[in-house]
Amino acid sequence: MIQQLPTSGLTSTDRPSTAQARIEAETRQLLDQVRAGGDAAVRDLTLRFDGVEVQKSQVEPAEIDEALRIADPTLVEALQQAAANIRRVGSAQLFSEEEVLVRPGVRVWRVSRPLRRVGVYVPGGRAPYPSSVLMLCVPATLAGCSEVVLCSPPGQDGHVDRNILAAAAIAGATEVHAIGGVQAIGAMAYGTETLARVDKVFGPGNSHVTAAKRLVFGEVAVDMPAGPSEVVVISDGSVAAAWLAADLEAQAEHAPDAVGILISTDREHAEQVASLVTQRMAPQLRFYIATTLEEALAAANQFGPEHLILACRDAEAHLGAVTNAGSVFLGPFSPAAAGDYATGANHVIPTGGAVRSFSPLGLDAFGRTLQVQSLSAGGLSELSSLVEPMARAEGFHHHLRSVRIRLSEKVDASASCPRPRAGVAQMHPYLWEASSAEVAARAGIPEGDVVRFDTNTCPWTVAEADCLTLQGVNEYPDSNYPALVSALANYLDQPSAAITLGAGADELLSLISMAFVGPNDPVVIPVPTYSMFSALTEAAGGHQISVAGGDEEKLLQVASRARLIWLCNPNNPTGELLREGLVQRLATSSPGIVVVDEAYFEFSGRSSVRLIDELPNLVVVRTLSKAFGLAGARVGYAVSGPAIAQILALVRPPASISGQSAALAVSALEHTQDMKARVAGLLRERELLADEITKRGFDSRSSSTNFLLVSCPNGLAEQLAARGLVVRSFPVDSSLHGWMRVTVRSKEENGRLLEGLSDFGGRGGN
């Protein structure tokens, strides 16, 4: 009877085998019957399995009250106290979780919501279990479930056991039905005419009930597989043999298929335990000898018992070694029976080894959590650098847009300062790609290895460093910048009066907008184009009229009522030149001002400057940021007739170009021949690059600038960034989805880009 614990541990024969396939087939048939036949099918099955005819399954409230009234007062008292203990233990399981401040302005937390309507099954079978009523219904009501349906089979008299009804009254069940077995599970899962379906089915039962719960899973939630009960007792011989024999017998008493296993490190003591158990129960019990407690615990873990009694010295010290068990009982005075009824711990526990994947019934089983997240404008902007590469990699441009659109309209309603003007609050500001430092950190490369293919700058400067001095840096520069104006007049072959200086072309665009655009003024923008045009228009409160760049007829039509027309020639980001004569036609047909942004003039050689004499409403804006290689110095200028120049002078801030920058600009303008030679080299490089890009299967639009618009399949920009190569993408402008803008750079840098394209898994075509 007593065996040495096999080296392989407990075996599957230590658990009763159930004829799964047969049981499942029978159960499925019964469930189908309930689903199709509703109340009538339930009545038929009750007659078939319980041998009674029950016309109306729902128990009247009066019958429940009566059951409580006539119940044995000592039982009622015990049930009430046990319920209080379950409540006390359950209260510690009430959902409580801290809100997490993931980053400043990003809060994430979870809240719990109870299931609305739950169904619990309490077997009648061999004996009615009012204790199970408490274990199932008390946590349900404590969790806040508003409807708690209890099903239990009718006895021979056609009624639910009175003690079950009394317990149901104590535990707060809201609806009781005299339905047992598979039909109860089916009725609760599918609903019948008189029993509305529930959201989750709970409760132990025989193998058919367990199979039924498995089969309805998905239609409803179910708690866990809880079949034949089982206990493993681990003994070192220190707890009285008679006590352990009683524990094993108590287990066997549950049902003929209940199992009790003793694993002892003390052979003599184990023999004593075995000799004390009732012979009738012996077939349900096993006795094993282990060499050490560790070995015994390992076998128990492998078996994963519903109940585990650690009947050994210093039991709690061994708890750390228990990994697989449902309910653990520590020390000589902790019999499983105490947990079955009274400790307040739950006795609905996974069996059959299911503790590997399930927990004993707890309050959480009667609710679900909702997760909540709240982001401020700052919080969203903190996270945008995470969202953007992931959304791009997954090809979800609308995801990206939903973040960017908010950041570009990012006036936090909860901001602590007064709101800005409406136009500013709504505007879409200029957005840069990630900084070199960020790209380097993400790619895990030195910042110096990052190449900016997104800024349309040049890999050189033609200004000479020896023009720089600290002398005079304590004073403001001369706001008229005579040397710079004269160098520009010379470069442009224009009078000095035609020139307005600014800190980069951007400052001039901004001055023009400030001087000419008021709220609701019609402003025409051929799109796609440089995004600052629209940002400035929005900031000024102008009424933006976007027209597809190629639609000249429409352009001319809206020009006739425009207050301002923004043109970019050659255009950023398409690289194209405007059709010959268009500037002139627009300027003559418009009452407003026509701005031609020629930031990339030196790469195309085409300019509207020669038109300013005949067109008093024309202003050309240029920069030294691109071909002269002075983006960091921030020097730009506008060329216009004197009238516009005088208006711009009104709004121009004093001394916005530093003396150093002005000196660099003068130096650069002294080297225009160098600039032209370099530009010519770059244009040759551009054609080579475009050819190589096309050879790699990507589309490249022809360009009159120092950049190319290239097809960009999903994930490419991120793969390039992972190599430190930053290209310009256009997540907000849907007309440019699938395209990227790449600056033509040095041969070596372009080579790195080409390598990146070659290594890209997908092909390039749009």
Nearer to ligand PMP, 515 or 568 (CB): 568
d(CA 77, CA 74): 5
- The residues carrying an active-site annotation are 306-307
Stretch that binds ligand PMP, among 221-229, 500-508, 554-562, 751-759 (CB under 6 A): 500-508
Q: Which stretch binds ligand PMP (CB under 6 A): 261-269, 504-512, 659-667, 738-746?
A: 504-512
From the CB of 375, what's the least distance to ligand PMP, in Å?
30
Between CA 179 and CA 199 the distance in angstroms is 18
Between 572 and 700, name the residue whose CB sits nearer to ligand PMP: 572
Residues that bind ligand PMP (rule: CB under 6 A) add up to a total of: 13
For ligand PMP, the binding residue among 572, 590, 604, 729 (CB under 6 A) is 572
Q: Name the DSSP class of 46.
A: H
716 sits in which H/E element: helix 716-721
Nearest distance, CB of residue 727 and ligand PMP, angstroms: 14
Per-residue interface string for the shown chain with ligand PMP, residues 45-64, x marking contact by CB under 6 A: --------------------
Q: CA geometry: angle at 172 spanning 167 and 173, to 5°?
A: 85
- Using the minimum distance from each CB to ligand PMP, give the nearer residue, 354 or 505: 505
Binding of residue 456 to ligand PMP (CB under 6 A): yes
Taking the least distance from each CB to ligand PMP, the nearer of 57 and 623 is: 623
Binding of ligand PMP by 506 (CB under 6 A): yes
Here the tokens at position 42 are 């339930």
CB of 635 to ligand PMP, least distance (A): 7
- How buried is 401 (Cβ within 10 angstroms: 0-12 exposed, 13-18 middle, 19+ buried)? middle
Contact between 530 and ligand PMP by CB under 6 A: the answer reads yes
Q: Which residue lies nearer to ligand PMP by CB, 128 or 504?
A: 504
Burial class (CB in 10 A: 0-12, 13-18, 19+), 667: buried
Question: For residues 67 and 278, what is the distance between their CA atoms, to the nearest angstrom?
Answer: 36
> Least distance in Å: CB of 388 to ligand PMP?
20
Min CB(619)–ligand PMP separation in Å:
13
Question: What span, in angstroms and rounded, lies between the C-alpha atoms of 751 and 541?
Answer: 44
Q: What burial class does residue 179 get, using C-beta atoms within 10 Å of its C-beta: 0-12 exposed, 13-18 middle, 19+ buried?
A: buried
Describe the strand order of the beta sheet including 117-121 as a list of residue ranges.
175-178, 147-152, 117-121, 200-202, 221-222
* Whether the Cβ atoms of residue 477 and residue 662 lie closer than 8 Å to each other: yes
CA distance 40 to 134: 30
Binding region for ligand PMP (CB under 6 A) out of 381-389, 404-412, 501-509, 647-655: 501-509
CB of 556 to ligand PMP, least distance (A): 22
Q: Which residue has the tokens 């309050």?
A: 363
Beta bridge partners of 369: 112
CB of 672 to ligand PMP, least distance (A): 17
Q: Residue from 231, 262, 568, 708 that binds ligand PMP (CB under 6 A)?
A: 568
Question: Which residue lies nearer to ligand PMP by CB, 597 or 685?
Answer: 597
171 in Cβ contact with 181 (< 8 Å): no
Q: In angstroms, rounded to a whole number, what is the distance separating the alpha carbons of residues 249 and 281?
A: 7
Beta carbons of 592 and 558 less than 8 angstroms apart: no
Query: How far is CA 607 from each of CA 235, 337, 622, rounded to the nearest angstrom?
Result: 97, 95, 10
Q: Which of residues 597, 652, 685, 730 is near ligand PMP by CB under 6 A?
A: 597
| Rounded-to-integer distance, Cα 186 and Cα 33, Å | 9
Contact code string over 609-648 relative to ligand PMP, x by CB under 6 A: --------------x-x-----x----x------------
Return the SS3 of 233. strand
At 413, the amino acid letter reads A
Q: Give yes or no for residue 264 binding ligand PMP (CB under 6 A).
A: no
Residue placing its CB nearer to ligand PMP in the complex, 635 or 720: 635
Which three-class secondary structure state does DSSP give residue 3? strand
Nearer to ligand PMP, 608 or 625 (CB): 625
In terms of CB distance, is 537 or 623 closer to ligand PMP? Answer: 623
By beta-carbon proximity to ligand PMP, the closer residue of 27 and 623 is 623
Instruction: Return the number of the residue (115 or 657) whose C-beta is nearest ligand PMP.
Output: 657
Shortest CB 598 distance to ligand PMP, Å: 8
Binding status of residue 576 toward ligand PMP by CB under 6 A: no
Write down the least CB distance from residue 600 to ligand PMP, Å: 7
- Nearest to ligand PMP of 363, 638 (CB atom): 638
Shortest reach from residue 576's CB to ligand PMP, in Å: 12
Work out which of 204, 504, 629, 731 binds ligand PMP, going by CB under 6 A. Answer: 504
Minimum CB separation from ligand PMP for residue 508, in Å? 8
Residues 665-704 that bind ligand PMP (CB under 6 A): none
Question: Which residue's Cβ has the minimum distance to ligand PMP?
Answer: 504
Burial letters 86-119, b for 16+ CB under 10 A, else e: bbebbeebebeeeeeeeeebbbeeeebebbebbb
Q: Could you please report the per-residue DSSP string of 655-674?
A: T-S-HHHHHHHHHHHTTHHH
Determine how many CB atoms are found less than 10 A away from the CB of residue 393.
14
Q: Which stretch binds ligand PMP (CB under 6 A): 195-203, 216-224, 445-453, 503-511?
A: 503-511
**How many Å apart are CA 166 and CA 63, to the nearest integer?**
10
Amino acid at 381: S
On whether the CB atoms of residues 661 and 468 are closer than 8 A, the answer is: no
Parallel, antiparallel or unpaired: strands 285-289 and 259-264 = parallel
* Cα 273 from Cα 296, distance rounded (Å): 17
Alpha-carbon gap, residue 730 to 408, rounded angstroms = 14
Name every residue whose Cβ is closer than 8 Å to that of residue 307 and which is 6 or more positions away in sequence.
229, 230, 231, 232, 251, 325, 326, 327, 328, 329, 336, 339, 349
Count CA within 13 A, CB hemisphere, residue 19: 5
Q: Which is nearer to ligand PMP, 361 or 565 (CB)?
A: 565
Distance of alpha carbon 326 from alpha carbon 336, whole angstroms: 11
The CB-of-625 to ligand PMP minimum distance in angstroms stands at 3
Which residues contribute to the site for ligand PMP (CB under 6 A)? 456, 504-506, 530, 568, 572, 597, 599, 623, 625, 631, 636
